[in-house]
Amino acid sequence: MHIDKANITNLTGLWRKYGSRAVKEGELPLLHINTHWPHRCWPDWNAEAVSNLLLRDPNDVAWLEHYSTNIPESAVLSVWPSTAGNDKPLLEQQWVCAFEQTAMYMALDESVAYSTSSPLSFQVKPVSTLDDIKRWVDIGSEAFAYSIDRSVIEGLMNDKDVQILLAYQDEQAVACALLYKTGDIVGVHQVGVKRSFRGQGIARCFMREIIAACIQWQGKYVVLQASQAGQPLYESLGFSVQFTIRNYKKV
């Protein structure tokens, strides 16, 4: 599988694990909708129906109106380059681009000691209790300025393809992350640092430990979707840019 497709497969696979339902209207593309947080909504962009629509007119989103009763007002419609090779933005008459992310990847090298620079006072541990989950959700909700559904994260505690991680500075939980593995691809998601601990190099230490954990998990590639603020850090760690993901909300 091409690494670009592997990134999206990992991302949408996690969204499905968070909880989603599929909606189909006649010959229109299949639409996936999260029933709660993270409120994502995405068509099966690799399907022939979508490719044909985008080849005719990359800005045609009229077909989404057929799903209007199924798409909640809180939905975030995520768009990335289709198999038609076209990544032009959707018309912004019905939808407006709320934020963009950059898909990135890195090939893992077992000969590199990614975690050697972490100070002794810094540790990364998997969540193991409901109290850990509460800490994780509290840190993530503060870091991203939205409310994470605690029940969704609790439901992933025993999933063999998921690692839920907390980072500790002097034994205080200061950062969170979630890893999701699809084949030999490990996706890094929900990396957040408590606001009062930012600017101390914690994100860099955490990412080095995460990359080392991905190697131990027998991953060959790490993929993620970076915010504008986070992209420079990932590039400095060796991640390469793939493409832009645009996230739309209803006007």
pLDDT in tens, 216-235: 999 999 999 999 999 999 99
pLDDT for 88 equals: 47
Q: pLDDT digit string (tens) for 160-180?
A: 999 999 999 999 999 999 999
Mean pLDDT is lowest, of 9-13, 95-99, 212-216, 217-221, for 95-99
91, pLDDT greater than 60: no
60-66 mean pLDDT: 68
Cα–Cα dist 19/231, whole Å: 28
Mean pLDDT across the chain, nearest whole number? 87
CATH class, range 109-219: alpha beta
Cα gap 160→181, rounded to integer Å: 9
Burial of 140 (0-12, 13-18, 19+ CB in 10 A): buried
pLDDT at 206 over 80: yes
Residues 6+ apart with CB under 8 A from 9: 1, 182, 185
pTM: 0.89
pLDDT at 8 over 80: yes
Q: Which of 42-51, 149-158, 181-190, 201-210 comes out lowest in average pLDDT? A: 42-51
At 30 the pLDDT is 82
| 211 pLDDT higher than 90 | yes
Instruction: Kindly list the domain boundaries of the chain, sorted by start residue.
Output: 3-102, 109-219
Quick check: 47 pLDDT over 90? no
Peptide bond into 43 cis (omega under 30): no
Buried b (16+ CB within 10 A) or exposed e, 10-23: bbbbbbeebbbeeb
pLDDT of 28: 73
Q: Any idea which of 53-62, 123-132, 228-237 has the lowest mean pLDDT?
A: 53-62
Mean local confidence (pLDDT), 45-72: 62
Q: At 251, is the pLDDT very low, low, confident or very high (cuts 50, 70, 90)? A: confident
Cα–Cα distance between 138 and 157 in angstroms, integer? 16
Element at 205 (helix H, strand E): helix 202-216
CA dihedral 222, 231, 114, 153 (to 10 degrees): -60
- Which residue reads 């019905």 in tokens? 94
Q: What is the mean pLDDT of residues 124-131?
A: 96
